[in-house]
């Protein structure tokens, strides 16, 4: 559960935080209340698959607002099954993403999205899990019923391989080919539901993709910027810690926007800049390494001057005059 989000910016209160057990629906209602001071005519909310309950959708639509929400394809819901069953031709949009709109009901629109690269990755990951399962159950037919049950219990603790395990009426362990075939039809696909009647299918899909950038921001906060764990006792220090991490994330996003590269790539390019300290008979000087073309490109995009070649120079200490003359 996310423990910090932006709130009350219009009121000048900056960053707010909530306990980790605060529900998403409670945050939705409070965020909507805070946005009243922004005097926005209309807001389209973008949420992941955890927001798709009927109550959440009703709250998001209140006041004439709209939403773009992910829908669970593997949930077995009637909407997901109907959307996948509808025939239609995909339309190519940005970043190898293909979309098609399917008609299910009058008050909502459903967009099936397909990414070939993601489909290849899904198939490869599934094959890894199936291969592991086949290794685990190889030769299990010769085991006693009790040993096979123990093996099945062990596999049940492995979420990946266990998804593709089935047991025959006689207790034999087999790879579930029906499940594999069913999941193969979902490779690279995800389903969106939208309440806006005017947005194009492409805008709906690309609007949802922005959520991925937001989620990546949270991952960056919790990993690269080390938002968690927070070893503070006082609430003011926790808020200060969150604020500093948020400002660092803002700086990262500014760098990515100006350079057109990811923070990981920019950081790797800037790691080639070094400072060396050299000492000799004449004294000590501090010198920077020559920036690589990649580092120069980053600095130019950020409108930052390259560091000076010599950062400091300290002459060697001279002996007092009376010691030199003896």
| Alpha helical stretches, state H, 223-311 | 235-259, 263-270, 293-301
pLDDT confidence of residue 241: 78
Three state DSSP letters for 191-204: EEEECCCCCCHHHH
pLDDT confidence of residue 2: 35
Running along the chain, 326 residues long, what does each successive block of 10 average in pLDDT? Answer: 33 55 71 71 79 80 84 78 84 84 84 91 94 95 94 92 93 94 91 88 86 72 64 76 81 89 87 89 89 92 90 75 46
pLDDT confidence of residue 162: 93
Phi, psi of 158 (to 5 degrees): -110, 95
Angle at 116 between CA 112 and CA 121, to 5 degrees: 110
* pTM of this structure: 0.61
pLDDT digits (tens, 9 = 90+) for 103-141: 887 788 889 999 899 899 999 999 999 999 999 999 999
pLDDT digits (tens, 9 = 90+) for 36-47: 767 666 788 888
pLDDT confidence of residue 318: 58
**Domain extent listing, the chain:** 4-111+194-258, 117-184, 275-325
Give every strand in the sheet of 275-280, ordered side by side.
275-280, 283-288, 310-315
């Amino acid at each position: 559960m996310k423990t910090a989000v932006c709130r009350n910016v219009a009121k000048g209160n900056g960053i707010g935080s909530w306990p980790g057990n605060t529900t998403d629906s409670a945050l939705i209602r409070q965020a909507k209340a805070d946005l009243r001071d922004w005097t926005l005519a209309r807001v389209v909310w973008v949420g992941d698959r955890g927001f798709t309950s009927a109550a959440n959708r009703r709250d998001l639509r209140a006041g004439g607002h709209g939403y773009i929400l992910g829908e669970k394809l593997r949930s077995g819901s009637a909407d997901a099954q109907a959307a996948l069953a509808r025939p239609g031709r995909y339309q190519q949009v940005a970043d190898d993403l293909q979309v098609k709109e399917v008609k299910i009901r009058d008050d909502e629109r459903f967009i099936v999205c397909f990414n070939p690269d993601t489909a290849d990755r899904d198939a490869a990951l599934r094959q890894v899990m199936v291969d592991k399962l086949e290794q685990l159950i190889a030769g299990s037919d010769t085991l006693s019923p009790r040993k096979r049950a123990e093996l099945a219990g062990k596999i049940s603790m492995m979420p990946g391989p266990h998804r593709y395990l089935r047991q025959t009426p006689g207790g034999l362990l087999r790879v579930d080919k029906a499940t594999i075939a069913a999941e193969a039809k979902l490779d690279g696909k995800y389903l969106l539901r939208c309440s806006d009647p005017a947005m194009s299918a492409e805008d709906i899909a690309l609007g949802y993709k922005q959520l991925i950038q937001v989620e990546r921001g949270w991952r960056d906060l919790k990993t690269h910027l080390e938002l968690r764990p927070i070893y503070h006792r006082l609430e003011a220090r926790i808020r200060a810690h969150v604020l500093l991490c948020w400002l660092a994330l803002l700086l990262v996003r500014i760098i990515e926007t100006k350079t057109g590269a990811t923070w990981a790539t920019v950081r790797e390019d800037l790691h080639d800049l070094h400072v060396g300290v050299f000492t000799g008979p004449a004294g000590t000087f501090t010198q920077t390494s020559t920036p690589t073309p990649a580092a120069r490109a980053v600095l130019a995009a950020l409108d930052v001057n390259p560091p000076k070649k010599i950062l400091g120079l300290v002459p060697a200490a001279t002996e007092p005059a009376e010691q030199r003359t003896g």
